[in-house]
Amino acid sequence: MKTSLKILAITPVYLVILIIGTMIGMALFPNETMSQSSEGGFDIMLLLVAFLNGTILFYYVMKSNTSGWPLILRTALLSFILQYFITQVESLWFIGALQMSRETVYALLTGGIISSILFAIIAVWMGGKKSGVPEYSNIGSAPQLIRIALLTVIVWPSLYFLAGYYIAWQSPDIRLYYSGSTEMLSFWEMMKMNLAEGLYSFQIFRGIVWAAVAWYAFSVIKGTRWQNAILLGLLFSILGHSQLLLQNSIMPETVRMVHLLETVVSTFAWGMILSYSWLDAPIRSFPVKTASA
């Protein structure tokens, strides 16, 4: 199958797999929130989400130096962590403001595991990477701990809180949704609250997860420094937040759209910074195992 036809086919494939995973998740963890969303009928934006997520994951598969089950594992992990885990752990943190049940989170995570594995298997097969000969990584030696610390303890939390305050928190609807008031505190007053409530430490945890997944997934990616930085930025921003394009019973439209802008900006920048400053360390090639032909 030609590459152009594969790209056209990837959207319906992703959509069907997403629906299957969602249905299984709902069956195992019934919840009113997802039931209400499904009763609203088919959202045409779901096609756009399927196109964006499916295409960027398929591009990752095609850019990889490896193949077979090692590539399936990397793709599935990348898909699950970025689309489901990293977002739903934050949902659990803000679960009171979001007014969603834990069953909703569990259903999304369960469906996400199933969808990620199924799509990874099919994407690797469609990409013609079922098997191959050993290739070599284009990533450098393991980064120093001080570098990881600077990125996850300072850079990511700074991006998160700056975007959160100067993009999202400028909206009265956002302030009312999360705090029940439209009162506008200063950035430093908000930061004192975030530190006291543990939100800063929680973002460090998310930064570490992102960094670990990026290192594992990108240890087999071909491309220039800038190409890989843009790709990682797109993976972080698209996979993590394209679902905000969909209508749901949890967030009003204005809240969703403001959050979409805020999170896309911060995570795209985080992906680029992480890739450009860390993943392009001095090159040290080493074998990458692939499935035998």
Tell me the per-residue pLDDT of 221-249, one tens digit each, with 9 for 90 and over: 877 888 888 999 999 999 999 999 988 87
- Structural domain that includes position 58: 3-288
Side chain identity, residue 181 = S
User: What would the mean pLDDT of 251-258 be, rounded to a whole number?
Assistant: 91
Residue 245 counted as domain residue: yes
pLDDT in tens, 2-25: 777 888 899 999 999 999 999 999
| Whole-number pLDDT of residue 98 | 74
Tokens standing for 35?
């039931």
**pLDDT for the residue 132:** 61
Per the CB < 8 A criterion, the answer to whether 58 and 164 are in contact is: no
The mean pLDDT of the chain is: 84
Predicted local confidence at residue 100, as pLDDT: 79
Q: What is the pLDDT of residue 84?
A: 93
Question: Could you give the percent of the chain with pLDDT greater than 90?
Answer: 50
Q: What is the pLDDT of residue 61?
A: 93
DSSP string, the chain: --HHHHHHHHHHHHHHHHHHHHHHHHHHS--HHHHHHHHT---THHHHHHHHHHHHHHHHHHHBS--HHHHHHHHHHHHHIIIIIHHHHHHHHTHHHHT--HHHHHHHHHHHHHHHHHHHHHHHHHTT-SS---EE---BSPPPHHHHHIIIIIIHHHHHHHHIIIIITTSHHHHHHHHSS-----HHHHHHHHHHHTHHHHHHHHHHHHHHHHHHHHTTB-S-HHHHHHHHHHIIIIIHHGGGGS--SSS-HHHHHHHHHHHHHHHHHHHHHHIIIIITPSB---EE-----
Structural domains counted in the chain: 1
Is the backbone of residue 198 left (phi > 0), alpha (psi -120 to 50) or beta? left
Does residue 150 lie within any of the structural domains? yes
pLDDT for position 293: 41
In the structure encoding, which two tokens stand for residue 267, read together? 């995570």
| Residues 140-152, mean pLDDT to the nearest whole number | 68
Q: Which of 5-14, 27-36, 89-98 has the lowest mean pLDDT?
A: 27-36
> What pLDDT does residue 274 have?
87
**Residue 145 lies inside a defined structural domain of this protein:** yes
| Whether residue 1 has pLDDT greater than 80 | no
d(CA 288, CA 8): 30
Evaluate the CA torsion angle 14, 20, 23, 26 in order and state its sign: negative
Provide the CB-side half-sphere exposure for 196 (13 A, CA).
Answer: 6
Whether 215 is in a domain gets the answer yes
Task: Give the separation between CA 216 and CA 79, rounded to whole angstroms.
Answer: 13
pLDDT digits (tens, 9 = 90+) for 178-193: 888 888 989 999 999 9
Task: Please check whether residue 104 lies inside any domain of the structure.
Answer: yes
Q: Is residue 293 part of a domain?
A: no
CA 167 to chain centre: 20
Distance CA(90)–CA(108), nearest Å, equals 13
| pLDDT for the residue numbered 91 | 84
pLDDT at residue 165 is higher than 90:
yes
Residue 136 phi/psi, 5° resolution? -125, 140
Which range has highest mean pLDDT (57-66, 135-144, 207-216, 262-271)? 262-271
Residue 42's φ and ψ, nearest 5 degrees, are -75, 125
Query: What average pLDDT does range 165-177 have in this prediction?
Result: 93
